[in-house]
């Protein structure tokens, strides 16, 4: 990759000692494996809004839809300080060209979902959102976001990482200043990847691209990007991937022997039943793409959406 992907992250996940107790929450996968492809932009809301290290622990209290950020022991309310800082910080982050953000789970400042909110009686409900995370997601409503805990789920991990790599390619396409032609090429090469997220969205994107000549370029880019990010938020499933795999198989009608077709059909079926990982049928199809010089498929990002070293398609 020419440039690394720029990704926002809760600072403590990088091993920075910024937690209330002076500790960190270093995450080996994020820094070690994903870190090879990513330039992290660390954000610690509690330190950056002026609270020190160490500091008194905080929690969300009150109305779960609009909670206050209050220290646990002395009851100091930091809500306004945090919100004022967060609103300034998200504007600054616009310049960073982020392709996504990884939040620290369960934090009253950084948690993306299911953060505990305590009622007056002291009993918590797990329906809150950390104050900074909420401001960030309202400011960048379609940007891919995840929590480090959810990234242990192989499907969520694959979906998130696929989204940030796709957004990186989008940014590179923009930087090429290739106008409508570059967008048409981007769309063509992502068709199968988009199909694995949502066939309906692929059709809507196709209709938009078909009107490309009639739309001013900035409007075309803007509408395409919004729809692209919406598409990537639809998670892939084994059913959707199976549909794409059979669709891919259709390109080899005239090339494969009856035996080869049966072998590929069997592998797709094993994948669909959760017995072999996606990488197995994809590898065989990639082999046929090279063997039979399938130029259209050779350019499809679906067959190679992120580095193999990340092993994102190796799970069942």
Name the residues that contact ligand SF4, by CB under 6 A.
10-12, 18-19, 44-46, 104, 107, 109-110
Q: Is the dihedral of CA 306, 310, 312, 316 positive or negative?
A: positive
Question: Residues near 299 by Cβ (< 8 Å), separated by ≥ 6?
Answer: 188, 189
Query: Which of 57, 210 has the CB closer to ligand SF4?
Result: 57
Query: Which of 19, 195 has the CB closer to ligand SF4?
Result: 19
CB of 55 to ligand SF4, least distance (A): 10
Query: Which of 110, 196 has the CB closer to ligand SF4?
Result: 110
Judge whether 254 and 248 are in contact, CB under 8 Å: no
Residues for the chain: how many in total? 316
Query: Which of 45, 277 has the CB closer to ligand SF4?
Result: 45
CB of 25 to ligand SF4, least distance (A): 6
* φ, ψ at 101 (rounded to 5°): -145, 140
Which among 220, 248, 225 has a CA at the least distance from the CA of 163?
225
CB of 47 to ligand SF4, least distance (A): 6
Helix (H) or strand (E) holding 175: helix 154-175
CB of 19 to ligand SF4, least distance (A): 4
CB of 255 to ligand SF4, least distance (A): 53
Query: Which of 96, 266 has the CB closer to ligand SF4?
Result: 96
Judge whether 239 and 272 are in contact, CB under 8 Å: yes
Question: Residues near 265 by Cβ (< 8 Å), separated by ≥ 6?
Answer: 249
């Amino acid at each position: 990759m020419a440039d690394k992907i720029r990704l926002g992250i809760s600072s403590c996940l990088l091993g920075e000692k910024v937690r209330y107790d002076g500790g960190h929450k270093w995450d080996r996968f994020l820094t070690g494996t994903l870190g090879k492809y990513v330039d992290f932009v660390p954000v610690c809301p509690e330190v950056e809004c002026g609270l020190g290290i160490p500091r008194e622990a905080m929690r969300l209290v009150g109305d779960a839809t609009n909670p206050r950020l209050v220290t646990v022991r002395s009851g100091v309310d930091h809500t306004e300080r945090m919100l004022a800082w967060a609103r300034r910080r998200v504007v600054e982050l616009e310049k960073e060209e982020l392709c996504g953000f990884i939040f620290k789970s369960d934090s009253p400042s950084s948690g993306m979902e299911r953060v505990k909110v305590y009622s007056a009686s002291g009993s918590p409900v797990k329906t809150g959102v950390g104050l900074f995370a909420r401001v960030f997601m309202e400011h960048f409503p379609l940007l891919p976001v995840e929590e480090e805990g959810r990234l242990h789920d192989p499907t969520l991990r694959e979906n998130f990482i696929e989204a940030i790599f796709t957004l990186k390619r989008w940014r590179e396409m923009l930087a090429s200043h290739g106008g409508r032609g570059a967008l048409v090429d981007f769309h063509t090469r992502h068709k199968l990847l988009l199909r694995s997220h949502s066939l309906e969205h692929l059709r809507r994107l196709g209709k938009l691209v078909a009107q490309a000549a009639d739309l001013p370029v900035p409007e075309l880019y803007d509408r395409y990007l919004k729809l692209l990010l919406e598409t990537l938020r639809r998670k892939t499933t084994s059913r959707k991937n199976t549909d794409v795999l059979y669709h891919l198989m259709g390109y080899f009608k005239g090339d494969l022997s009856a035996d080869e077709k049966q072998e590929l059909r069997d592998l797709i079926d094993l994948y669909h039943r959760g017995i072999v990982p996606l990488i197995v049928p994809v590898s065989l199809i990639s082999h046929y793409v090279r063997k039979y010089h399938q130029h259209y498929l050779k350019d499809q990002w679906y067959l190679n959406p992120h580095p193999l070293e990340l092993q994102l398609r190796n799970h069942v």
